[in-house]
Structure 1
Amino acid sequence: MNRPDFETLTRAKPLLAVLRGEAQAVPPVWLMRQAGRYLPEYRALRAEKGGFLELVYDSQAAAEVTLQPLRRFGFDGAILFSDILIVPYAMGQQLWFEAGEGPRLAPVLADSPLDALTPDWSRYEAVYQTVRLVRAALDRHVTFLGFAGSPWTIATYMVAGQGSKDQSAARRMAYADPARFSALIDAIVDATVTYLDGQIRAGVDAVQLFDSWAGSLAPLQFDRWVIQPNARIVAKLKALHPDIPIIGFPKGAGAKLPDYAAGTGVDAVGLDETVDPHWANRALPKGLPVQGNLDPLALIAGGQSVEQAVDNIRAAFADRPHIFNLGHGIVLDTPVAHVDALLAHLRGKAD
């Protein structure tokens, strides 16, 4: 697509400016999973379209879901409505969602070789079309974020065939057969670069790498399976798109965050709710943009709990480029009115 030069884009989009290192008097805001089940308009559309994967692969519907929270709340960022498991689906695993139980992948790679999979890269195309549709409808001041799962997190699903509490199957394979596990990680890196390159070409302004299970790894394993693969993705994407910012979100990384920031080369780091923002401000490189990190359960409680947390986070990052967000995805039973109240407090508007 033909896009304006990056300087022009940055001037028009506060969130994109923060990703470029410019602090804002009021931090721009978006919320992880802002397009989803807590919104009545999403639930209505989901009921009409059927299953989750069917919704993702209906580009018109997925674009509508992406735009719904923008219309309601006026967020500074839009996040593409899709799923991190589109990558293993395109790599050749079958993907479906069990009602009430979550995603399933087959064949399970704990028992099957990687070369048993036949990639089908056309499975990315509907997502790219969603990006094009959203791009055409989006307000020029809103930053459009694409995303992918990071290799370690994607591998945990591919090896086990589903999510798990401790990612034991992938961790066991990584220790017992590191060559086999490394080949899987390498394949995911390449598939992810292809996927994000396509999203960028279709029209996103920045991308986020979700490493939801980064916190399950010991330090040496964290370096090998989180830092190094993400660094390769960043380097490959920067070679293709030097101006596109990349946010890294290694949930659960804790004290390993400074090493992650230095080792991956991401442009911004997302913080989960367990990270003390004052510690993060001291420990992370000066001037590195950060994103986060309100506890999603505080948002459910609302009122003073949210206001105190918001004020604490803003005080911690007063002198640093900061994107306000949750420390993880918004929870299903979050009252919509509490999101309105959060934005009012964050932006200083009276009731």
Structure 2
Amino acid sequence: MAPPRPVGSRPADKKFLRALRGEAVWPPPVWLMRQAGRYLPEYRATRAAAGDFLDLCLTPELAVEVTLQPLRRFGFDAAILFSDILMVPHGLGQKVWFEEGVGPRLEPLASPAAVATLEPQRLRERLSPVFEAVRGLKAALLAETALIGFAGAPWTVASYMIEGGSSRDFQKGRAWAYGDPEGFQGLIDLLVEATVDYLLAQVEAGAEALQIFDSWSGIWPDSEFRRWCLEPARRIVAAVKAVHPDIPVILFPRGAGVLYREVAEESGADALSLDTTVPLDWARAELQSRLCVQGNLDPVALIVGGAALDRQARRILEAFRGGPFVFNLGHGIDKTTPPGHVEQLMALLRAA
């Protein structure tokens, strides 16, 4: 095995960053969404010691530790900051907490008047532990491992802020957007600005690439998708690139279907993360011909392992060989995933 490059090697030398910039790297670089999490016993131990999930995210040494845990086991090509998309509402001053067995909870926003109480000017102050964690990771990572910062997209974050937590249909947020589009636009505009500020601070702390998660974009019809998902994403990418033109940005518009093509054409992103439902041949022809694609193994195949996992992984490798590509899942790794199945996947990918 070749020794790692010394610290200080150029970021452009990293496999993951080379792929995001349009190079066909083979074997492909790999990381997994939610690669740090409950499927790892060491994460569960750290989580128990932290007590509260919010404390885990906002205690820099613990956030660094859980980010590094999967890298020690599996040697992924990129680390993604351990945090949560609801850090931005927290940074804006909205009350955010996590209930065991329930998930995230927020004090809901009900009107433009509630939006006016948010404090974007204090976001960096409130989220300073996150940026300290990024600096700690930058110092701790091997020279060949890239560091990804991230944020939730405005619509996805707004949906939690309005509903007060997760939802099956995000009816309150959608009703606000349809019934008072100008008032809703005010919230989206605020979140665009706050997200840009949050991402820029991560880059300043050492993040080398950024991913924007729009987990609930697929709930909109096409006209509303363009207004509430595509246009905010375009604005965020443009604002980040205006300050840091060399920082690659990945978008994950989960559930966008054929609208993935419009995102590829209009967002300005360097890469698209594909959900599990995106057809491979279509993605190669319509997306990979324009930019790097990332994905899109079904997380359930990783749970099952064995021949099914090998078969599904090979399909994806065959589809995207020869173009810019990062291997990943089509959504986050499930808590029931056996770590041994991740080892199986990594062995297959390294031998590709």
TM-score (norm 2): 0.95
| Residue matched to 1:49 | 50
Match of 1:268 in 2: 271
Give the CA deviation at 1:107: 4.0
SS in structure 1 at match of 2:127: helix
The correspondence for 2:253, drawn from 243, 250, 259, is 250
Shift of the 107–117 alpha-carbon distance from structure 1 to 2, 3 Å rule, reads farther
SS in 1 for 2:166: coil
After TM superposition, what 4+ stretches of structure 1 lie above 2 angstroms from structure 2?
107-113, 116-120
The reply to whether residue 296 of structure 1 matches residue 299 of structure 2 is yes
Deviation at 1:118, TM superposition (A): 3.5
Give 1:297-316 correspondences, 5 Å limit: 297-316=300-319
Give structure 1 stretches of 5+ with no counterpart. 1-5
Root mean square deviation of aligned Cα = 1.6
How many Å separate the matches in 1 of 2:350 and 2:66?
24
Query: Does structure 1 conserve the Cα–Cα contact (< 8 Å) formed by 2:298 and 2:329?
Result: yes
- Corresponding residue SS for 2:295: strand
| Percent of aligned pairs with the same amino acid | 52
Could you tell me how far apart the structure 2 residues matched to 1:155 and 1:107 are? 10
Higher mean alpha-carbon deviation, 209-218 vs 161-170, is at 161-170
* 1:9 corresponding residue in structure 2: 11
- Report the counterpart of residue 3 of structure 2 in structure 1: none
Task: Work out whether 1:216 is the aligned partner of 2:227.
Answer: no
Q: Secondary structure at the match of 1:41?
A: helix
* Partner AA of 1:247 in structure 2: I
Cα separation, 1, equivalents of 2:215 and 2:180: 23
Residue 224 of structure 1: how far off its partner (Å):
0.3
Q: How does 1:157-236 map to 2 (within 5 A)?
A: 157-236=160-239
Query: Which residue identity lines up with residue 237 of structure 1 in the other structure?
Result: V
Asked if the contact 1:295–1:327 (Cα under 8 Å) also holds between the matched residues in 2, the reply is: yes
User: Is 2:220 the partner of 1:237?
Assistant: no
The structure-2 alpha-carbon separation of the partners of 1:107 and 1:160, relative to structure 1 and needing over 3 Å to count, comes to: closer
CA contact under 8 A between 2:112 and 2:186: conserved in structure 1?
no
Q: Which amino acid aligns with 1:58?
A: T
SS where residue 251 of structure 2 aligns? Answer: strand
1:3 corresponding residue in structure 2? none
Query: Aligned-pair distance for 1:112?
Result: 5.4
Contact 1:247 1:268 (C-alpha < 8 Å) held by counterparts: yes
Q: Contact (CA 8 Å) 2:276, 2:297: kept in 1 or not?
A: yes
Which of 277, 282, 299 aligns to 1:279? It is 282
One-letter code aligned to 2:70: P
- Could you tell me how far 1:7 is from its partner in structure 2? 9.4
CA contact (8 A) 2:108 2:163 kept: no
Q: Within 5 A, what are the aligned runs for 1:12-31? A: 13-31=14-32
User: Residue in 1 aligned with 2:81?
Assistant: 80
Aligned length: 344
Give the Cα–Cα distance (whole angstroms) in 2 for the partners of residues 107 and 118 of structure 1: 16
User: Separation in 2 of the partners of 1:125 and 1:104?
Assistant: 22
Q: Deviations over 1:2-42 (max 9, x none)?
A: xxxx992111x100100111111211000000011110000
- Counterpart CA distance in 2 for 1:123 and 1:67 is 24
Cα deviation, residue 90, structure 1: 1.0
Letter in 2 for 1:49: A
TM value normalised by structure 1: 0.95
Q: Give, as a single letter, the amino acid of the residue that structure 2 aligns with 1:9.
A: P
